[in-house]
Amino acid sequence: MTNLQAATTILNTILHRCTHPCLITWPAIIIFALTCNIAIADDTQSPTPAQTIRPPVHYNLTHYCGESDNMGNQYIDKLIELAFSYHSATVSIETLGNRCSHAREKKLLEEGRSDIFWAATTKEFEATLIAIRIPIFRGLLGHRIAIIPRAHQGKYANVTTMEQVKKLTIGQGLDWTDARILKANGFDVTESADVENLYRMLLANRFDLFLRGVMEPWDEVNQHPELPLAVEENLMFIYRMPAYLFVSPKKPDIAAIIENGLWQALEDGSFDKVLINDPVFNEALQKLNAKKRTIFYLDNPLLLDTAPVDDPRLWLDVTTLNAAAN
C-alpha cells in the first residue's frame, strides 16, 4: 500500500464512523490534507538504487628484457609497487624475456610490446618514451667502482691522478650511456652486447676495469662464485647520470600513476626506506669504504637540460654516501 492509499483509508474511516456530517470538523480535514501532501511527496520520490562497488583497476606490467631474480630489478619492482600503493589501482610485474640491449628495449616499448624499463637517460630515450624524471637510484648509478680479476687487487693503489687513470682500459656494455660518457672523457672503452661476456673478457685481460654502479658489483661477484673476480678497493669515478623509469608512449596512464606515487614516496620518506632497506644497497654501504678511495670526477656531456640537477631531494652526493658508508 502506498502512502497516498493509506491516507485515503484514514479519510474513509473518518467518514464511515461519523454519524453526522457536521461532526466532520475542519481539524479532521486539515489532518487529511497534510497526510495526503506528505504521501504524494513520498510517493513521487524515486527509490535510491544500491551503490555499485567496483573492484580496483589492476595493471599487469610487462618488462620484456631483464632477469626477474636480478637484485637490481627486484629493487625497481619494489619502487613501482610503492608508487602504485598511493593509487587505487593494483599492480603485478612480469618479466617476459632475457637480457637484451637498450636499443631492443626501446623498440619494444615504442611498439607497446613492453610497458616499462629503466636505464640511464639519453636524448634518444626521452625523444620517444615517457621519462619519469626521478633518479631511481638517487644518482648513485653515476658513482662507479670496478670489478677486477681477483689477482689484480692492490694493483691500482697508487693510481691517484687523472693522467694515470686514463691509461687504464675500461669495459662496458654495448650502447650503455656510461660507455659514451667515458669515451667523451678520454678513456679507452671496450664494449660487448653480452654482459656475461664482459666478465670473461676482463679475466682474459682485454681491459683493466669493469665499472659498475656502487650498488652492483658485490652482488654480481657473488652471483659468479666460479669466476676469480673481486671488487676493486681504491678507485671511484663519479659523474652526474640520472637513471629513470621509462614507460611505453602507449601507456600514459601507467606513467602518471608511477610518477605521482614516487613523488609522494619522496615526500613522506618511503622512497628512501625502500632504497636503504634494499639488501644490495646495504651491502654496498657496508663494503664501499668510500673515504679511502681516490675519487675521479668526470663530466657528462650527454646530460640533458631536462635533468632535475638542481633539486636536492632527488640526489645523494658523495658526502652523504661517505657518511652512510662509515
The SS3 call for residue 130 is strand
CA 307, 308, 313, 315 torsion-angle sign: positive
27-42 mean pLDDT: 46
195/175 Cα distance (integer angstroms): 12
226 and 108 within one domain: no
How many CA atoms lie less than 13 Å away from 213 in the CB half-sphere?
22
Q: Is residue 228 part of a domain?
A: yes
pLDDT digits (tens, 9 = 90+) for 19-30: 444 444 444 444
Range of 103's domain?
58-137+242-288+303-311
* Band (212; pLDDT cuts 50, 70, 90): very high
Q: Of the residues 205, 222, 238, which one is the last residue of a structural domain?
A: 238
177 and 256 within one domain: no
The pairing of beta strand 188-192 with beta strand 169-173: parallel
223-235 mean pLDDT: 96
Q: Is residue 4 part of a domain?
A: no
- The pLDDT score that the predictor gives to residue 2 is 52
97-119 mean pLDDT: 86
In the predicted model, what is the mean pLDDT of the chain?
Answer: 83
The b/e string for 122-148 (b: 16+ C-beta within 10 A; e otherwise) is beebbeebbbbbbbbbbbbbbbbbbbb
Q: Is residue 39 part of a domain?
A: no
Q: Is residue 133 part of a domain?
A: yes
231 and 110 within one domain: no
189 and 163 within one domain: yes
Highest mean pLDDT among 14-23, 69-78, 135-144, 255-264: 255-264
What's the number of domains the chain is made of?
2
Which distant-in-sequence residues (6+ apart) come within 8 Å of 113 by Cβ?
Answer: 62, 64
Residue 238 has pLDDT above 50, yes or no: yes
233 and 156 within one domain: yes
Residue 318 has pLDDT above 80, yes or no: no
* Band (226; pLDDT cuts 50, 70, 90): very high
Q: Is residue 209 part of a domain?
A: yes
Phi–psi pair at 113, nearest 5 degrees: -85, -15
223 and 150 within one domain: yes
Residue 204 sits in a domain of what CATH number?
3.40.190.10
- The pLDDT score that the predictor gives to residue 78 is 93
| Count of all residues that appear for the chain in the document | 326
* Band (73; pLDDT cuts 50, 70, 90): confident
pLDDT digits (tens, 9 = 90+) for 75-90: 899 999 999 999 988 9
Q: Nearest to residue 178, comparing CAs of 235, 129, 232, 120?
A: 120
* Band (225; pLDDT cuts 50, 70, 90): very high
Residue 240 has pLDDT above 50, yes or no: yes
246 and 133 within one domain: yes
Q: Is residue 164 part of a domain?
A: yes
* Band (110; pLDDT cuts 50, 70, 90): very high
DSSP string, 196-215: HHHHHHHHTTS-SEEEEETT
- The pLDDT score that the predictor gives to residue 11 is 46
Q: Who wins on pLDDT, 71 or 31?
A: 71
Residue 71 has pLDDT above 70, yes or no: no
Residue 41 has pLDDT above 60, yes or no: no
Are 62 and 115 in contact by the 8 Å Cβ rule? The answer is yes
147 and 264 within one domain: no
224-239 mean pLDDT: 96
138/317 Cα distance (integer angstroms): 9
Of 19-33, 103-117, 141-155, 237-251, give the lowest mean pLDDT range.
19-33
255-281 mean pLDDT: 93
217 and 73 within one domain: no
178 and 256 within one domain: no
128 and 153 within one domain: no
Q: Is residue 35 part of a domain?
A: no
237-265 mean pLDDT: 95
The total of other beta-carbon atoms located within 10 Å of residue 39's CB is 18
230 and 108 within one domain: no
